[in-house]
Amino acid sequence: MRQLAAILFADMTGYTALMQENEQLARAKRKRLKDVLEVMIAKHNGKTIQYYGDGSLSIFSSAINSVMCAIDIQHELQRDLKVDLRIGIHTGDVIIEDEAIYGDGVNLASRIESLAAPGSILISEKVLDEIKNQAAIQWRELGYFEMKNVKQPVRVYAIANSGIVVPDRAELQGKTKQPVNRLAVLPFVNMSADPENEYFSDGITEELLNALTKVDGLQVTSRTSAFAFKGKNVDIRDIGIQLNVDKVLEGSVRKAGNRVRITAQLINAADGYHLWSENYDRNLTDIFEVQDEISTIIANKLRENLMSPPQAIHLVKSPPARNTEAYTAYLKGLHYWNKVTPADTRKAIECYERAIELDPDYALAYAMMAGAYSSLGSSGQMLPHTAFDFAHRYADKALQLDSTVAEGHIAKGGVYLLYDWKWQEAYEALQRAIHLNPGATAAYELLALYYIRKGQKDKAVELMEKAVKLDPLSPTISQALGNMYIFAERYDDAIRQADKLLEMDPQMRASVEMKAWGTGMKGNWEGALELFKEVHRLTNHPLKGLMGVGYAYARLGHKAEALECIRKIEQRQAEDPNLVLDPDLVGIWYALGNIDKVFYHISRCVEKRVAPVDLFLEYPVFAGLRDDPRFIELREKIGIS
């Protein structure tokens, strides 16, 4: 019999050694443990499947019950004849046959229990999702752990109620793999009197990130997540947990006149211990030579501390720009680009244009501008043929100037994928980008879309889960993972991902929308409608954000309201001919059951080469289209076999 269960492993610590020292006491403690387990597990509606030596395996239909049971067990075992117990809990599918239990969930619960310290209760992220809103349960994050026979790193939490041991990450042992060298480079602090020197300190950080991602055997957290801590006073140990890294590199820059002092320190994330710290005093005759020199020195210091066996690092880099003013304009563009809104994307383009005006051979600026135009074209914020013409032109120029710039290959791959529908060329360009920069998560996001178009949804999910590990605090990457869950019809996972993003920013429109689709696809279109209305409200515009509202109204049988949404979308299209809103109309007409209208607007998407048109073919919402002959013709027209 297969069922979803909360799996609780409990194991008495020190039993074997105690048997050798005092067999009578060991047996008494084991009996007390079994008596307590039987009472408490029954009290919380659980079932013990197996006793083994000094431990047990139990299951519960409720994660909340399992955790409350674990708390009661630990409290009771602190009384007379104290018993030191480790407890680990995970939820997952299990198979129960003849009083035996199987499944990946059982293995993972066992691994989590083995990680625990005496008196503690460790739980998985899936358990946390079920109990985090319970006022009676306190918890603390311990971070990710690599575990034997478990493919992906596991995020572990400790129950922190009064009387329960909360171990430090550093003291946890258990069945873990050899640690992977993971590093975060925090934004170097500008210590200069002039705030304009912020761009110089950011530049040092950028150079180090670019240099260190090329070091074999070293995983470097992407820029977005590292820069999330800029200007914040956060404990290094907490940063290590949030970013899932072993080491943190931080530093400061003080610039005065033609002199610069750069301080850098490498810190062990588990305990905050400084592995080394050095100051570098230089003349600032050339900003880029100084950055190259410092990044090479620090990279090799990291090699000495992190790499085994040691390997010399020789960084061959072309200068990012030929003058500081162009570089400053580029960094400002990057600042706006990372805000991920159409308006800020346009500001980023202006900054990149300024950088190119000052330095016509600035390859990275061309590449980033190409990516910005692709973003506007694929989101319907600019006519696709105009946007992608710019994107092609600037990507080609970037690669002509410097073919080692990963961003140039990402931009080119994006155009192939989102506009040209040249699937193989897109795949090769994106693979080349990842080869040049394994931390380039933008390439992962596009490559995941390639796998979706090829019908390989599980591969898309796996790729984005890897990207989130590289860039755990990036809203863009986390949002992309949630979207892959929707494509793979893993709606509960998508909703959980949306909730995590909304905890960071309750106003994140895309995450509310993702939660709405997940909720609706699970069958709750009333709940989805309320969420879609919130998306519409957050646009702060009467004609925007109406596709989901109209779709949900139609699914609920409110035809007049759905048609009113269509009228408003058509009004917006008429008012701004540079927008492409056919995809929105496809959705509502489909929910209304007018398939002729659906294929009319899909054909317009194909004519305009709107990027989302090929996603209609795989999005679960439109599964009912797949038996229509026009659907097969459409696949052939855009080159999907």
Which single residue is written with the structure tokens 């072993």?
A: 246
Bigger pLDDT: 307 or 403? 403
Q: How far apart are CA 222 and CA 225, in angstroms?
A: 6
Of 237 and 345, the one with more pLDDT: 345
pLDDT at position 590 is 94
CATH of domain 2-171: 3.30.70.1230
Is the pLDDT at 338 greater than 80? The verdict is: no
Is residue 101 within 8 Å of residue 3, measured between CB atoms? no
pLDDT, tens digit (0-9, with 9 covering 90-100), for 305-326 = 555 544 444 444 545 667 778 8
User: CA angle, 135 as apex, 66 and 47 as ends, to 5°?
Assistant: 10
Instruction: Using DSSP bridges, classify how beta strands 2-12 and 55-60 pair: parallel, antiparallel or unpaired.
Output: antiparallel
Q: What whole-number distance in Å separates Cα of residue 566 and Cα of residue 550?
A: 7
pLDDT, greater one: 77 or 178: 77
Q: Is the pLDDT of residue 175 over 60?
A: no
Burial call 21-52: b when 16+ CB within 10 Å, e when fewer: eeeeebeebbebbeebbeebbeebebebbebe
Beta strands 121-124 and 85-97, pairing class: parallel
pLDDT tens digit string along 67-85?
Answer: 999 999 999 999 888 999 9
Q: Which of 110, 269, 89, 243 is nearest to 164 (CA)?
A: 89
pLDDT(424) > 90:
yes
Burial tier of 278 (Cβ tally within 10 Å: 0-12, 13-18, 19+): middle
pLDDT tens for each residue of 115-171: 899 999 999 999 999 998 899 999 998 887 877 777 777 889 999 999 999 988 767
Single-letter residue type at 485: Y
Lowest mean pLDDT, pick from 48-57, 168-177, 344-353, 534-543: 168-177
pLDDT score at 307 = 52
Give the pLDDT of residue 310: 46
What is residue 177's predicted lDDT score, i.e. its pLDDT?
Answer: 54
- The pLDDT confidence band at residue 57, using thresholds 50, 70 and 90, is very high
What integer pLDDT is reported at residue 231 of this predicted model?
86
* CA dist., res. 471 & res. 631, Å (int): 37
Which residues have CB under 8 Å from 390's CB, separation 6+? 369, 370, 373
Residue 606 has pLDDT above 90, yes or no: no
Q: What are the tens digits of pLDDT across the range 573-592?
A: 999 888 888 989 999 999 99
Identify the burial level of 196 via C-beta atoms within 10 angstroms of its C-beta, where 0-12 means exposed, 13-18 middle and 19 or more buried: exposed
pLDDT for residue 180: 61
- Determine contact, residues 368/337, Cβ cutoff 8 Å: yes
CATH number, domain 181-306: 3.40.50.10610
Residue bearing the bigger pLDDT, 617 or 251: 251
Axis crossing angle, helix 406-415 with helix 384-401, rounded to the nearest 10? 150
Read out DSSP for 267-306? EETTT--EEEEEEEEEE-S-HHHHHHHHHHHHHHHHHHHH
Residue 117 DSSP symbol? P
pLDDT tens-place string over residues 610-637:
766 777 778 898 888 888 888 888 877 7
Average pLDDT over residues 440-455: 92
| Residue 253 confidence (pLDDT) above 50 | yes
* Residue 243 CB partners (closer than 8 Å, separation 6+): 182, 184, 221, 225, 226, 472, 473
pLDDT score at 314: 47
Q: Give me the mean pLDDT over the 343-355 stretch.
A: 93
Averaged pLDDT score across all residues of the chain: 87
Q: How confident is the model at residue 596 (pLDDT cuts 50, 70, 90)?
A: very high
What residues does each domain of the chain span? 2-171, 181-306, 541-641
Position 379 scores a pLDDT of 78
User: Hey, what are 319's tokens?
Assistant: 């200068």
CA distance 616 to 554: 18
The helix (run of H) or strand (run of E) holding residue 126 is helix 125-131
Per-residue pLDDT, averaged over 600-615, amounts to: 80
Of 220-229, 424-433, 527-536, where does mean pLDDT reach its minimum?
A: 220-229
Scanning 244-383, the segments in alpha helix (DSSP H) are 287-306, 324-337, 342-358, 363-378
- The pLDDT value recorded for residue 315 is 47
Tokens of 505: 């920013």
The b/e string for 72-83 (b: 16+ C-beta within 10 A; e otherwise) is: bbbebbeeeeeb
Please give the average per-residue pLDDT across 201-229, as a whole number: 81
* Helix boundaries (H) for 489-546: 491-504, 509-521, 525-539
* 557, pLDDT greater than 80: yes
Distance separating alpha carbons of residues 207 and 292, to the nearest angstrom: 7
